[in-house]
């Protein structure tokens, strides 16, 4: 884990490294490509809506819409392949996103629900809370589905070997999963990192890769304690 404590001169607040540049760039790439495929794809899914022709006009006409959708989709597939290859073959270190074997995530979830009704303390999360794990695996599920169904629709060369019924079903999946992914991002992810009152207008972690000590203590206390323990024992350099 690359969590050496950093102390840049940003006020008096201490900052911790949360994401590597590699991770920040991957996220940025997904932000851009995801936004593009959603904006260029939704007017097709909801082609009967009043805003569909307006949006297509803004995007520069139908051909341009298709071109952007395909280009962004290919970009998304490449980022997905890079992500999987990188974490399966090159950097096999941290397993922080894998759900805990002792069901800590389930317990945390239940404790959070009790907390909402005033029956328990706010759960103490480690490096990644169940929310973030759900976000990650949800996004991965979406990526796998979209990046498998998309190319089947894009590459007619594959139709020599695929029955039309299969292509048709991929069409249904591609369309339905796109709505699920968009709603999950807008409702859930944006609430957690954008417009909840603690972070509004947005958490800067995704740009800087740094997290403030206050946020660290509140949202990842177990990780904070672990880093502090390692610092005292001299396992990690300042």
Q: Is 42 in the site for another protein (CB under 8 A)?
A: no
163 interacts with another protein by CB under 8 A: yes
Largest CA distance in the chain: 64
Residue 109 buriedness (CB in 10 A; 0-12 / 13-18 / 19+) = middle
Stretch that binds another protein, among 1-9, 24-32, 156-164, 229-237 (CB under 8 A): 156-164
Alpha helix locations (H) across the chain? 21-45, 51-58, 61-85, 104-116, 130-154, 164-183, 190, 205-208, 213-219, 221-232
Question: Cβ(62)–Cβ(143) under 8 Å?
Answer: no
Q: Which residues contact 208 (CB under 8 A, 6 or more apart)?
A: 15
Residue 173 binds another protein, judged by CB under 8 A: yes
Q: Based on the shown chain and the rule CB under 8 A, indicate whether residue 56 belongs to the binding site for another protein.
A: yes
Told to check if 24 binds another protein by CB under 8 A, we report no
Q: Is 6 in the site for another protein (CB under 8 A)?
A: no
Judged by CB under 8 A, the residue of 78, 103, 144, 155 near another protein is 155
13 contributes a contact to another protein by CB under 8 A: no
Site string for another protein, 88-127 (x = CB under 8 A): -------------------------x-xx-----x-----
Indicate whether 51 belongs to the interface with another protein (CB under 8 A): no
100 burial via Cβ count (<10 Å: 0-12, 13-18, 19+): middle
Which residues are CB-contacts of 49 (< 8 A; sequence separation ≥ 6)? Answer: 43
Task: Give the whole-angstrom CA distance, residue 172 versus residue 150.
Answer: 11
Least distance to another protein, CB of residue 122, Å: 8
Which one among 6, 107, 114, 217 touches another protein, defined by CB under 8 A?
Answer: 217
- Region of 193 (left: φ > 0; alpha: ψ -120 to 50; beta: rest) is alpha
Stretch that binds another protein, among 21-29, 52-60, 75-83, 223-231 (CB under 8 A): 52-60
* Closer to another protein by Cβ: residue 2 or 196: 196
Query: What size, in residues, is the chain?
Result: 238
CB of 29 vs another protein, minimal distance in Å: 25
Query: Of 106, 169, 202, 228, which lies in the binding site for another protein, with binding defined by CB under 8 A?
Result: 169
CB 142 within 8 A of CB 180: yes
Q: Are 184 and 138 in contact (CB under 8 A)?
A: yes
- The residue ranges that bind another protein (CB under 8 A) are 43-44, 47, 52-53, 56, 61-63, 66, 113, 115-116, 122, 155-157, 159-169, 171-173, 176-177, 179-180, 183-184, 187-188, 191, 196-198, 212, 214-215, 217-219
């Amino acid at each position: 884990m690359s969590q050496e404590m950093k102390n840049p001169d940003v006020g008096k607040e201490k900052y911790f490294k949360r994401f590597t540049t590699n991770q920040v760039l991957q996220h940025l790439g997904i932000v851009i490509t995801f936004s593009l495929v959603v904006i260029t794809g939704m007017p097709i899914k909801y082609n009967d809506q009043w805003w569909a022709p307006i949006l297509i006009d803004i995007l520069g006409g139908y051909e341009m819409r298709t071109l952007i959708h395909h280009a962004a989709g290919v970009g998304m597939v490449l980022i997905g392949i890079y992500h999987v290859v990188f974490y399966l073959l090159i950097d096999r270190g941290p397993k922080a996103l894998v759900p805990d074997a002792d069901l800590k995530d389930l317990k945390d979830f239940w404790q959070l629900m009790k907390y909402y009704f005033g029956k328990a303390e706010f759960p103490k999360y480690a490096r990644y809370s169940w929310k973030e794990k759900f976000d990650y695996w949800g996004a991965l599920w979406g990526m796998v589905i979209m990046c498998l169904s998309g190319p089947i629709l894009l590459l007619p060369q594959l139709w020599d070997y695929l029955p039309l019924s299969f292509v048709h079903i991929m069409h249904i999946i591609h369309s339905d999963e796109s709505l699920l992914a968009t709603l999950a991002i807008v409702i859930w992810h944006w609430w957690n990192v954008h417009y909840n009152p603690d972070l509004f207008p947005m958490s800067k972690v995704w740009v800087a890769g740094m997290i403030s000590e206050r946020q660290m203590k509140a949202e990842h206390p177990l990780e904070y304690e672990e880093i502090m323990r390692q610092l005292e024992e001299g396992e990690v350099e300042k």
